[in-house]
Amino acid sequence: MPQTWMITGANRGIGLAITIELLRRGDRVIAAARNPWGGALAELAAEHPAALIPVELDVTSDASIAAAKEALAGQAIDVLLNNAGLYGPRDRQSGLDVDFDAWREVFEVNVYAPIRVAQAFLPNVEAGQGRKIATISSRMGSIAANPGNALIYRSSKSAVNMAMVVFGNSVRARDVSVMLFHPGWVQTDMGGSGADITPAESASGLIRTIDASGMAEANSFRDYTGEAITW
């Protein structure tokens, strides 16, 4: 039976790759982005007019989230995927020299936004059959496996892990499974061309793992293959 996924940051990178894979297999995708009508999403919408639902969404804006919530009122969502993310500057991310303005900006996107989105669209997820909320985190957020550097990005991913687990505990009684994923080191603008895997490889692994997950995997932190990651 076809599923309905809502994906933030669906216009590029991993989000776009997941969107492509889901449409290919016959699912419906609510593609959320600041400009969901341009670039690759426009081409996909032309190819899949009934299956791709573009939604304008700035995940850092309460007003934008409220407008998207109103536009999607009554729309069941099987899987809500918090994918939109920001790395921050390539320098000034050390313990001895950090760009505090950039740190705040990264937290807006990587930490506050997933909670904003999850709270706003929880009724839609509860109306779906999948009842899953997944967030793209990173192995770099693991405190147990932290070699240093990238203070801004690492701390944001550690923080979103904690935030989503607290949220997950809040919705466990509603039979909504909240999960966190490391997508792999992916060949995107963020990961760079020398990364280990392609967006398509990450996307197929994430979809397969999310498909196979339920309440037994609630509040888990795993990679795209389903392997557990230490917190």
User: Are the C-beta atoms of residues 99 and 152 closer than 8 Å to each other?
Assistant: yes
Q: How far apart are the first and last CA of the chain?
A: 34
| Distance of alpha carbon 210 from the chain centroid | 12
Spatial CA neighbour of 59 closest among 128, 7, 137: 7
Kindly list the distances between the CA atom of residue 46 and the CA atoms of 11, 38, 50, 73, in Å, as whole numbers in the listed order. 15, 11, 9, 24
The answer to whether 26 and 48 have CB atoms below 8 angstroms apart is no
Q: Which residues partner with 7 through β-bridges?
A: 31, 81
Of 87, 112, 153, 224, the active-site residue reads 153
Q: Are the beta carbons of 191 and 203 closer than 8 angstroms?
A: no
Q: 156 — alpha (psi -120 to 50), left (phi > 0) or beta?
A: alpha
Q: Check if the beta carbon of residue 223 is closer than 8 Å to that of residue 229.
A: yes
224 an active-site residue? no
Look up residue 203 and give its amino acid.
A
Q: Which residues are catalytic?
A: 153
